[in-house]
Structure 1
Amino acid sequence: MTMTPSRPTSPPQADRWPGLDVVPSGPRARVSAQIAQRLFVAAVDRLDVTVHLDLPEGRRTIGRGGPEMTVHRPEELWARVGRHQLIGFGEAYLTGAWDAPDLGGFLTVLAAEMQHLVPQNLQKLRTIVAKRPPSHQRSSKQNSQSNIAHHYDLSNDLFELFLDPTMSYSSALFPGSPADARAEDLEPAQAHKIERLLDRAKVGAGSRVLEIGSGWGELAIRAARRGATVRTITLSVEQQHLAEARIEAAGFSHLVDVEICDYRDVTGEFDAVVSVEMIEAVGHDYWGEYFRTIDSVLAPGGIVAIQAITMPHDRMVATRNTYTWIHKYIFPGGLLPSVSVIEQITHEQTSLRLVERQAFGQHYAATLRLWDDAFLGAPEQVAALGFDETFVRMWHFYLEYSRAGFASGYIDVNQLVLARPDHA
């Protein structure tokens, strides 16, 4: 179908890059840059990568061989990493201080060794050095809509450029090997992912379905096609408008309501609660409230089916109070849960129990690869939407940074089914 153009918004790059043109300087920056340089070189010497350093005296190559990185402005890289750690590493890519021909491959090697890039005896300094998330990004009711708008209200037309026709902005589930997935495989794989989740939630004719996080309406359409009535909620005005248009075009407006609503305000009773990659935006302070709300609206015999990006429990605990590049530039206020913490919270605070889990992280790596290929393949359309070159580098880095996390196994994605013990 032809997408309805996004309504005019402020220029996408306006106020997006405050301070990015300023390289840290001064005595403190010089000391931290020297430390960053030593740690970087020591780490690269242990990794299967090749790093070219463009120095005043000529090019120097370090590393043990593998995906390549070229550092055009080493002093800028050291300064940014020294003062802002991994945020500075990402920002140095945004400014062009370094490049990598296979960005995802290079970042995958780093992600696989993430826990060992900094020596163990220095990792205890994390709480002193690492920045904490700003209070205005905390996922409270007051902040959540602005957090969501920062990402999802960028432009429906931008997302249309790289997503498949289902407009699914979450991991696909490929029937075959994800490593072999091609662009034409993405749409059926997204449909397969959604149908599997609806199957696990037992959605059928007459089912009353609550969807937390509407996306652009594909899951609601497919649930309505089964004969269910759907209440789907979102905090993105842009998503609401396009979801409503797509649902109307599919002929299911009489079965689906798309509402601007915080999950904490939901009332009613539902036979199934489904949610695809929304829990990542909830924040660890509110996971209990999220699951208590679901428990309170789930009808007797009801089932909960959630698709969630997760990380190992120890890494989640170690990083949950760390402000990251993703927080600053992509998803304010978010945090990936572990499966363990979901089990713990639901066991302690609700009547729900985890009864089924399917992990498919390599499928997300393939999904992100296809998204990035499509995004990079549409430079003229991206520019026509008003996005500048820094945004292009940011979005490319975001997609490949994420792909590296899944490809390396540092993070994962799961479909989780929860039910009450009597029903399970």
Structure 2
Amino acid sequence: MTTAEHRPAVRPSAPPSTPAAVDPARWPDVAAPPPTSSARRAVTAAVLRHTFARLPLCVRFADGTTVGQGGPLLEIHDPTAFHGRVGGQGLIGFGESYMAGEWDAPDLVAVLTVLAHNAATLIPAPLQRLRGLWALRRPHAQRNTPDGARANISRHYDLSNDLFALFLDDTLTYSAALFRALPATWELLAAAQHRKIDRLLDLAEVGAGSRVLEIGTGWGELAIRAAARGARVTSLTLSREQRDLALERAAAAGLSDRVRIDLCDYREARGTYDAVVSVEMIEAVGAEFWPEYFRTLDDRLAPGGRAAVQAITMPHERMTASRDTFTWIQKYIFPGGLLPSVEAVADAVNDHTRLRTERRDGYGAHYAETLRLWRERFTERADEVAALGFDDTFRRMWTLYLGYSEAGFRSGYLDVQQYLFTKENPAR
């Protein structure tokens, strides 16, 4: 499904204008980055110029000089600040520099796609070998223990239901859609989300009378759709905002008697189910808890049961190189988050469960289109985002997050998988 001929061209990103002064109370590290020595800035500038010179980019500095092989434009408005941030904090500094308006791109996704495509070689090999000396370490507070996971989830998913409703379609589904054809249009997104959900429910053979456990409720669309098939659904979430709205939506659909939503960690789940479904929740689990996540699927499944899991994946060598470092995404978007690799999923399932992997299907190009539609909608509704109390720095942060994610899928650096796991019934 992710062949090159189905991958649409990257479209202009319409980045937000340079923000007003950054609020130091809300964004302390963006307003006032840690100081960096002039020597470190100089080394960073030299390394980045060498890197940019071999990429299909046009990097233009404030003095009008350019570097690169030609391609999408990256404009560095404040080279001193840009090099200081990148030299001091790597990709965190790169992201904070964008939030501060120190660099921009007329087509942000195109620039980020080039960078994502070359992610493995952006940092010279000698510096990569010294990664442990310069890369920031992930804060201990972001570990996804039961208490830590609640705090991490709340920071993203409890921002505001109204915010998410501004750029998601009417299904309020916050994961990759599955389109009939690419490229896609906004009008097709809701149907594509239902197609994705239905495929997962079909993989898990959810039907009338099925006992279903959902790990990661979102805003309830999958639970509602499973209940409409006649299943009885127990869904787990750590987000109070999501739980409240999901319960309202289930009631509006007349399915409250078939949908139960618990404010509960997956490790606290009890009972036995015919099917377990989990959509893009493993990304919030953390590597040290992946075995426990898959053991939960195994423990909760009845003999003969089926588990359908949708997961974003990254290359294994990049995952192992970066799994302990602190990233911009973890600092600002998904605290505690880490994408697994296909190999890491296979190891966790094979080494820690009795589950069997029946199939795995990738749909990365479909996620790129999903993200493009969300990003364009978010940009179009910028005034409404502001009216909810989110400032220009937040809007640039989320523009970068959505564009960065889209670029990951367009470049092939990221993929999204639908897995089917089965549990043998020894009685047969």
Same fold per superposition (TM over 0.5) = yes
1:6-405 alignment to 2 at 5 Å?
A: 16-25=26-35, 29-55=37-63, 59-177=64-182, 180-405=183-408
Cα deviation code 1:123-170 (max 9, x no counterpart): 101111101110111111121111001000000000000000000000
Distance 2:332 2:140 in 1: 16
- CA drift of 1:16 comes to 4.0
- CA drift of 1:421 comes to 4.7
- CA drift of 1:14 comes to 9.4
Question: 1:391 is aligned with what amino acid?
Answer: F
Distance 1:234 1:254 in 2: 18
Secondary structure at 2:312's aligned position in 1? strand
Distance 2:38 2:258 in 1: 62
Distance 1:297 1:15 in 2: 45
- CA drift of 1:29 comes to 2.5
Distance 1:87 1:184 in 2: 35
Cα deviation code 1:90-126 (max 9, x no counterpart): 1000000001011011000000001111111221011
Secondary structure at 2:37's aligned position in 1? helix
Question: 1:274 is aligned with what amino acid?
Answer: V
- CA drift of 1:361 comes to 0.5
Distance 1:336 1:173 in 2: 20
Secondary structure at 1:216's aligned position in 2? coil
* Greater Cα shift, 149-158 or 413-422: 413-422
| Change in CA separation of 1:273 and 1:165 when aligned onto 2, cut-off 3 Å | same
Distance 2:34 2:172 in 1: 40
Distance 1:314 1:32 in 2: 28
Secondary structure at 2:54's aligned position in 1? coil
Distance 1:209 1:15 in 2: 45
CA contact (8 A) 1:172 1:367 kept: yes
CA contact (8 A) 2:24 2:31 kept: no
Secondary structure at 2:144's aligned position in 1? coil
Distance 1:86 1:260 in 2: 34
Distance 2:377 2:339 in 1: 26
- 1:8 maps to none
- CA drift of 1:23 comes to 3.6
Question: 2:300 is aligned with what amino acid?
Answer: V
Cα deviation code 1:389-420 (max 9, x no counterpart): 00000000000000111110111100011112
Return the match for 2:414 from 407, 411, 417. 411
- 1:5 maps to none
Distance 1:14 1:98 in 2: 19
Distance 1:200 1:338 in 2: 21
The runs of 5 or more residues in structure 2 that have no matched partner are: 1-22
Cα deviation code 1:13-55 (max 9, x no counterpart): 8954122211443xx5322211111111111110101111003
CA contact (8 A) 2:59 2:74 kept: yes
Distance 1:417 1:216 in 2: 23
CA contact (8 A) 2:314 2:413 kept: yes
- CA drift of 1:294 comes to 1.4
Distance 2:280 2:348 in 1: 18
* TM-score, scaled relative to structure 1: 0.94
CA contact (8 A) 1:343 1:353 kept: no
- Count, aligned residues: 405
Distance 2:221 2:330 in 1: 27
CA contact (8 A) 2:302 2:423 kept: no
Identity of counterpart residues, as a percentage? Answer: 53
Distance 1:98 1:68 in 2: 11
Cα deviation code 1:262-300 (max 9, x no counterpart): 000001000000000000000001011111111111001
- CA drift of 1:422 comes to 5.6
Distance 2:275 2:33 in 1: 51
* TM-score, scaled relative to structure 2: 0.93
